[in-house]
């Protein structure tokens, strides 16, 4: 998975969602997710030096497709200026602590999440 963002830009936010392949109990996952703590880490792909280490991430509700549809969440990380100060290719991971059953999940699992911070030539006028 490749995520692209420009240097010094805090948008777009990094937003992940559950793989719904029909085999897992997705409602149970979202219920657990609603009472969890999530942290995001990101390291340089080449050097392995952490760029972001266990910074707080969160969940945000998806807009429901209909009023009575079940609540689903995205997992997101909101960039800070410091996170995107340096260009490069990084690998990111989330760790999710589920408070209901005191378990934790590190994700993504099957496929690595790569974040490419590319150079930008515009500067904020402020």
Partner 1 sequence: MGTQNLNNFYFNRVDCKLNYSSYYDIFLAPDEKDFKTDVIWSTNIIDYNDGSKLPVWIDLNTTASTQPNTSCVFQYPTGMTSTTYYTNNNYRPFVILSNNVWPDAKSACECPYTGSGFTICDIVWTGLDNGLLNINDIDSSTPSYLHEYPCIDLFNDLPSSRKYDIFSYDKRFKMHQVKAFGFPWWTDTFYTDTTILDATDYSGYYQELKGGFYQGFYKLYGYPYEVLPTRPSCGWSFETYLKINTICTNIEGPDSSSSPHGVYGNCYNTSGWYLDTAGNGVITPLCSENPNGYQYDTIGPQYTFNYSAWNGSGMSLGRTDKYGFFFYKGIRAEDKWFHEDMSYSAFTGCTTLSGEVGCCYECVETGLTGDTCNGPTGPTGQTGFTATLEDPVKLTGENKSPTAEHDVYSNAIGFRITDDMRIGYRTIRYTGSCQTTGETCNTGSSFHCGYTIEESYSEPICAFMTQSGDCVSNWVQVDVVFNRNLCLEDCEIHNDGGVNDLVKVRTDKFQRYGRHMGGSITPRGCHPETPNPPAPTCKDEYPAFISEAYFDFNCHGAKVQKWFDEKNYRMGTLIFYINGRRVHKVENYEEIIPRQLNTNKQTQVGVAYNMSWGGGATGLRESLIPDMSGCTSGCCSTIPYDSNYIHWSGETDQRLIMENFAGSFIGGISQMMYYIKPLTPDEIYHNFLINKSRYKLIDCEECKNCYDGCVDCNIENSSSPPAC
| Binding residues for partner 1 (CB under 8 A) | 1, 3, 12-13, 15-19, 21, 23-25, 28-29, 34-35, 37, 58-63, 67-68, 71, 73-76, 78, 94, 99-100, 105, 107-111, 113
> 32, exposed or middle or buried, with CB in 10 Å at 0-12, 13-18, 19+?
middle
Residue 26: CB minimum distance to partner 1, A: 8
For residue 43, which phi and psi values (nearest 5 degrees)? -125, 155
Rg of the chain over Cα atoms, rounded to whole angstroms, equals 16
| Complex with partner 1: residue 50 or 60, whichever CB lies closer | 60
Comparison of 2 and 49: residue with beta carbon closer to partner 1: 2
Is 18 or 44 the residue whose CB approaches partner 1 more closely? 18
Query: What residue has token string 């209901």?
Result: 100
Minimum distance from CB of 85 to partner 1 (Å)? Answer: 21
Query: What is each CA distance from 83 to 42, 72, 87, in whole angstroms?
Result: 9, 27, 10
Q: Which residue has the tokens 């150079």?
A: 119
Chain position carrying tokens 């990111």: 92
In the complex, least distance from residue 21 CB atom to partner 1, rounded to whole angstroms? 8
* Cβ nearer to partner 1, comparing 86 with 99: 99
Query: Least separation, in Å, of the C-beta of 38 and partner 1?
Result: 11
């Amino acid at each position: 998975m490749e995520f692209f963002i420009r240097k010094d830009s805090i948008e777009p936010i990094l937003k992940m969602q559950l793989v719904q392949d029909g085999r897992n109990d997705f409602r149970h996952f979202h219920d657990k997710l609603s009472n969890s703590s999530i942290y995001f880490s990101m390291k340089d792909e080449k050097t392995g030096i952490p760029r972001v280490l266990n910074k707080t991430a969160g969940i945000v509700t998806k807009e429901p497709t209909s009023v009575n549809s079940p609540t689903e969440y995205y997992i997101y990380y909101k960039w800070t200026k410091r996170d995107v100060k340096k260009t490069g290719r990084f690998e990111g991971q989330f760790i999710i602590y589920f408070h209901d059953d005191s378990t934790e999940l590190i994700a993504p699992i099957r496929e690595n999440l790569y974040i490419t911070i590319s150079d930008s030539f515009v500067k904020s006028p402020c």
